[in-house]
Structure 1
Amino acid sequence: MFLQVMNMEEKMKFLEFVYKIANIDGEYAEEEIEIVNSYKNELGINEIPETDDINGIIEYFSTKEEVLKRIIIFETMGLINADNKIEPEEADLMNKMVKSFHLDSEVVEKIDMVAKRLQDVYDDVYTAIFD
């Protein structure tokens, strides 16, 4: 949704990051596949790069401006909430990101609430169209 503010290097790192997150719990759910594919389409990138481990990518984004960190948190929350369950590995990852990004807990809470509301809207739209 907000990925166009990224430069090409950031886009590549982001795509690699979300792919790794989607697989962090050992289950690449259909909802996660759809989201990763939509990111690939939005970014115009077909191949997911393999350049770093997940901690290295968190470190990479931790040096970026706050608005980009907020976008990464928002998009990550949307991805991990896509299958309506948060696995311990996903929760640990979010905690690591928040700590590394030095974001205020109130900001993170607000982003989380908005991401959940948006997911509810997407679920309602899907149900209205396909059920």
Structure 2
Amino acid sequence: MFLGALNAEEKKAFLQIAHHFAWSNDDFSDAQKEVIATYCLEMQIEDIDYKADQFDLKATLGVFKQKEHQKIVLLETMALAMADRLTHLEALHEGERAVLDTMIQSFGLKPNLARIYADWTKAMLVLTDQGKNLIAL
């Protein structure tokens, strides 16, 4: 929804982060694949070839200098976190939680921001489902 505000380098970095997050629990779900495909459409770029053994989360997070862009990355990552219809952040796999914690710390954001973003994302997912159902009527 907000990824269009990122520059080309940030878009590729975001996709790397998204893939890293999705694989951090060793289960890249179909729902997560769908979210990443949506990210690519929104940013109008091809998906990246993620290589876990060559990925450095902290270095990649360093690409995002503007506070607004850092918040976009966290907010959009929440869509991936909630893609499997979790009801709260505490239900995240420890690998996913570690990625979010590193993001929050690296960006110098308040930890409660993740909860607020997760709540907003859950509401948006419900609205998206309702929209799909309306179209199917």
Residue in 2 that maps onto 1:81: 82
User: Is the contact between residue 58 and residue 106 of structure 2 (CA under 8 Å) also seen in structure 1?
Assistant: no
User: Is the contact between residue 3 and residue 43 of structure 2 (CA under 8 Å) also seen in structure 1?
Assistant: yes
Within 5 Å, give how 1:2-41 maps onto structure 2.
Answer: 2-41=2-41
Residue in 1 that maps onto 2:119: 113
What is the CA RMSD across the aligned residues, in angstroms? 2.2
Cα deviation, residue 65, structure 1: 1.3
Cα deviation, residue 6, structure 1: 0.9
Query: Using the alignment, how far apart are the partners of 1:106 and 1:18 within structure 2?
Result: 21
Cα distance change of structure 1 residues 130 and 87 upon mapping to structure 2, 3 Å threshold: farther
State TM-score, norm by structure 1. 0.83
Query: Using the alignment, how far apart are the partners of 2:81 and 2:114 within structure 1?
Result: 15
Q: Deviations over 1:72-124 (max 9, x none)?
A: 11111111110124211111111111111111244333222211211222233
Cα deviation, residue 67, structure 1: 0.8
Identity among equivalent positions (%) equals 26
Cα deviation, residue 8, structure 1: 0.6
Cα deviation, residue 30, structure 1: 0.9
User: Is the contact between residue 12 and residue 49 of structure 1 (CA under 8 Å) also seen in structure 2?
Assistant: no
Q: Residue type of the partner of 2:3?
A: L
Within 5 Å, give how 1:40-51 maps onto structure 2.
Answer: 40-50=40-50
Q: Deviations over 1:18-57 (max 9, x none)?
A: 1221122111111111111111112222240557333322
User: Is the contact between residue 25 and residue 96 of structure 2 (CA under 8 Å) also seen in structure 1?
Assistant: yes
Within 5 Å, give how 1:59-78 maps onto structure 2.
Answer: 59-61=62-64, 64-78=65-79
Aligned positions, number: 129
- SS of match in other structure, 1:60: coil
Structure 2, unpaired ranges of 5+: 87-91
